[in-house]
Amino acid sequence: MSGYQIGILFHLIGVILFFAGAAVAGVVATAAPRRQKPSEIAAILGLARPGAILLGIGGVVLLIAGFYLSGKIDGYGQRWLEISILLFVIALVAGAWGGRRSRGTRAYAEGLAERGEGDEATLRAMLSDRTTWVLHWASVVLSVAVLVLMVWQPGA
C-alpha cells in the first residue's frame, strides 16, 4: 500500500467519523424538543457529547490526511481546495458555537430537572432558539458543500 493510498484511507475514515458525529448531533438536536420532561431533554442533549467527540476526531483526521494528500498531488494553490478549507473551518466554528449554545440548554434542563431552578417556558424557548438552529444547519450545509467540492474538484 502506497503512502497516497494510506492518506486516502485516513481521509475517508475522517470523513466517516465527521459525518457520523454530525448525524448523532443532528438526531439529538431534533429529538430533544419533542420531549416533555426536563430530565428527558437533559438526557437526550447529553448524548450530543459522543457525537461531538466523533465529529472532532474525524475533523482532525480529515484535515491531517487532507493536507498530506494535498502535498502528494501538488494541490496547494488550487482554488477549490482553498475554498474547501475555508468552508470547513467556518463549518467547524458554526457547529462549535451552536454546540456551546446547546450545552447551555442542557445545563438549564438539568438544573430544572434536579433542583427546579428555572421554568419550562424558558427551556422551550432555548430549545427552539433560531440562532442555534441556524448555526447547526449552516454547519451541515457548509460541510456538505465541502464534500461536493472534494468530490468534484472543479478546475483540477
Q: Which residue carries 465529529 as its cell?
A: 55
3-state secondary structure 70-99: HHHCCCCCCHHHHHHHHHHHHHHHHHHHHH
pLDDT in tens, 87-115: 999 999 999 999 999 999 999 999 999 98
- Whole-number pLDDT of residue 113: 92
Supply the pLDDT for residue 70.
86
The answer to whether the CB of 4 falls within 8 A of the CB of 72 is yes
Whether the CB-CB separation of 89 and 59 falls below 8 Å is answered with no
Percentage of residues of the chain with pLDDT beyond 70: 97
C-alpha cell at 140: 451541515
Q: For 10-28, how does the pLDDT look when each residue is reduced to its tens digit (9 = 90+)? A: 999 999 999 999 999 989 9
Percent of the chain whose predicted confidence (pLDDT) is above 90: 79
Distances from the Cα of 50 to the Cα of 24, 44, 54, 117, 127, angstroms: 8, 11, 6, 27, 20
What is residue 108's predicted lDDT score, i.e. its pLDDT? 95
Encode pLDDT of 24-44 as tens digits: 998 998 999 999 999 999 999
Residues with Cβ within 8 Å of 23's Cβ and at least 6 positions away in sequence, in order, are 51
Q: How confident is residue 75, by pLDDT bands cut at 50, 70 and 90? A: low
Which pLDDT band holds residue 116 (cuts at 50, 70, 90)?
confident
Q: Which DSSP state fits 68?
A: H
State how far the Cα of 118 lies from the Cα of 86, in Å rounded to an integer: 40
Residue 37 carries which DSSP code?
S
Please give the DSSP secondary-structure letter assigned to residue 33: G
Q: What's the pLDDT score for residue 28?
A: 93
pLDDT for res 154? 85
What is the C-alpha to C-alpha distance for residues 105 and 128, in angstroms, rounded to an integer?
10
